[in-house]
Structure 1
Amino acid sequence: MWIIAGLVLLLLILHQDNWFWTDDTLVFGFMPIGLFWHACISIGATLTWALATVIAWPIHESDLRQVPSKESDTEEARS
């Protein structure tokens, strides 16, 4: 759980990209470095959220309920 909190804090700090505001460098020949930086932050946020769902909300087999299929519902209704 502390890993997720640390990653979120790191993303919040890295999101403040004052160092790229005046940089006119283009990445891949067309994308400003500031926009590329924010795209990378977005990818990092996506990966952090995916990791958080695996760590913070694990699914255990004992927690899963068996959902009856439609066929078994109709068979029980006929009986």
Structure 2
Amino acid sequence: MIHDQTPDLHEFEMDLTRDEVRRRAAVLRALGDDWDPVAVLAGEQEAYRLLYSNLDAGQQETYDRLVAAGVLPGGEGEGRAAA
């Protein structure tokens, strides 16, 4: 058996479950009853599409390189810059 050579130190344990529940409830209260996560996601996707639309050739090349490097999400269809 190993004896602790530091008797002035004590084990400390804290359960944050109740605080996490309180925090999540506060977030949902702040979002309000009319918060629609599906509509929020659709709006974000539309904003992303608009941000990367109508790129000139140089911008499109840079965009494609960033997608290929994994810096920006991309792929077929959704989230892809318009050609």
Structure of higher CA gyration radius: 2
Same fold (TM over 0.5): no
Q: Which has the higher strand share?
A: 1
Q: Which has the higher helix share?
A: 1
- TM-score (ref. length: structure 1): 0.31
